[in-house]
Amino acid sequence: MKTIRKITILGSTGSIGDSTLDVIARHPDRFEAFALTANNNVEKMLAQCERFRPRYAVLLNPESATRLTEAVHAARLKTQVLSGIESLEYVASLPEVDAVMAAIVGAAGILPTFAAARTGKLVLLANKETLVMAGGIFMDLVKRNNATLLPIDSEHNAIYQSLPLHFNGNLAASGISRILLTASGGPFRRAPLDTLEQVTPGQACAHPNWSMGQKISVDSATMMNKGLEVIEAHWLFNAPPEKIEVVIHPQSVIHSMVAYVDGSVIAQLGNPDMRTPIAHAMGFPERINSGVSALDMFKVGHLDFEAPDLDRFPCLRLAYRALAAGGNMPAVLNAANEVAVESFLAERMKFTAIPVMIEQVMNAVPQAAMTTLDGVLEADALARHQAREWLAAQS
C-alpha cells in the first residue's frame, strides 16, 4: 500500500495553487492537501476547504482569517483556521508534512519556504524570490538539513529534466557547455518601441501563451521574469552568468534546454501548462498523469528562436548586472521591481518607467555582502523605501 504524501500549499488560491490542487485531485491515493495558505481570499479558500478538507487553512490577513473561521464553522468543516506569518511557517514545518509547494508570489514567501527547508522537507519551489533574494543562504540551508529541492518553474524544471540523472552541480564534469533558458518574449516582443510608454496594465497582463497572475504577467512583459530566472538558475544549477543564455522562443513549446560539449542539446517540450512541472516534481522520480493534453507536433508546425533585445527589455540587463554584483543586489533588484510593478498595475507609473525605477534604486543602495536572512530582509526593506521615495519624487 502506497503512503499518501501530505502536502502544504503556500499560496493555494493562486494559479500554481490551483494547478497543484488539480494534480492532487487526480491522485487521491497518493496525495493529501494537508494545509492550504493564502493572503486574504476568503471565498476561494472556503471553496478549497470544502472540497479538499485540509487539516489547516492559513490566511495571512487576520481579519480575513476571522471571516474564514466563521464560514468554516458554518459549513461544519473540521479545518483549523490560523493567521499570520508565523502560522505560514508553522504549517510549512509540521512533522506530518512531507512536501511543501512554495508558491507565494513575492518576498512574503521567503520565511515559510525557509521553514520548510530548515525542517528537511521536500520543497517544491515556485517562489522565485527565495533564490533571487537569498540564494546562497537558502541552498546552504537545504544541504545542512537534508531537504530535497525540486524546481517548479517550467524553465527550471525543464533544465532539471534535461540534466544528467545524478548531476552534482559541476557543469564541466557533466560535460555541460551552456544552459539555454527559453522565454516567450511576452506580449510586446514585436511592438514598436515608441508605443511601450502607453501600455496599459490590461495589455501587459495579456500573455500570449501562459495563464498567470498579474505580477508575473507584467514581469514577463518586461522580461524581468526571465532575469529573475537567470538568477535562480545560477543557484539551482551552480551555473555562472556567462553559462546561462536566454533564448526567445515565441511558441513556448520548448521550456528550456541544456547544451553539452559534444554538440548535443537536450530539451524538454510540452504544452504550456504548469501542471506538467508540478506533476513531475510531485511524483518524482515516477511519472504521473498531470491532466495536460499531449503535445501535437504537427499542430505546432515550427519552432522559432531569437536573441533578446536588451534595448526593448532593459530589465533583463539589470538582472544580469545584479547577479554579477552579487551580495545584496539581487534582493535590491527584486524589491524595486515589486514596488514598480505594483505601482504600474495601480496606474501610478508608466510601463517604461519600471526599469528606470529599478536602475535608480540599484544605483542608490550601497552594495553589501549577504550572510544572513535578516540581512536580506533589511536590504529588501531599504530598496522598497528607496523605490517609494523615487516614485514620490516623480509625482
> CATH assignment of 5-151?
3.40.50.720
Look at strands 122-125 and 80-83 and give their pairing: unpaired
- What's the whole-model pTM score? 0.93
Contact 142, 119 (CB under 8 A): no
Q: In sequence order, which residues have a C-beta less than 8 Å from that of residue 178 and are 6 or more positions away?
A: 243, 244, 245, 258, 259
Question: Distance of CA 174 to CAs 166, 177, 246, 290, Å?
Answer: 9, 9, 21, 30
Contact 62, 88 (CB under 8 A): no
Q: What is the pLDDT of residue 1?
A: 44
Q: Could you report the per-residue pLDDT of 221-241, keeping only the tens digit for each?
A: 999 999 999 999 999 999 999
Q: Check residue 214 and give its pLDDT.
A: 84
* CA angle (116, 181, 191) in 5-degree steps: 115
Domain ranges of the chain: 5-151
339 burial (CB, 10 Å; 0-12 / 13-18 / 19+) is buried
pLDDT tens, N- to C-terminus, the chain (395 residues):
467 899 999 999 999 999 999 999 999 999 999 999 999 999 999 999 999 999 999 999 999 999 999 999 999 999 999 999 999 999 999 999 999 999 987 667 899 999 999 999 999 999 888 999 999 999 999 999 999 999 999 999 999 999 998 899 999 999 999 999 999 998 899 999 999 999 999 899 886 665 567 888 899 999 999 999 999 999 999 999 999 999 999 999 999 999 999 999 999 999 999 999 999 999 999 999 999 999 999 999 999 999 999 989 999 999 999 999 999 999 999 999 999 999 999 999 999 999 999 999 999 999 999 999 999 999 999 999 999 999 999 87
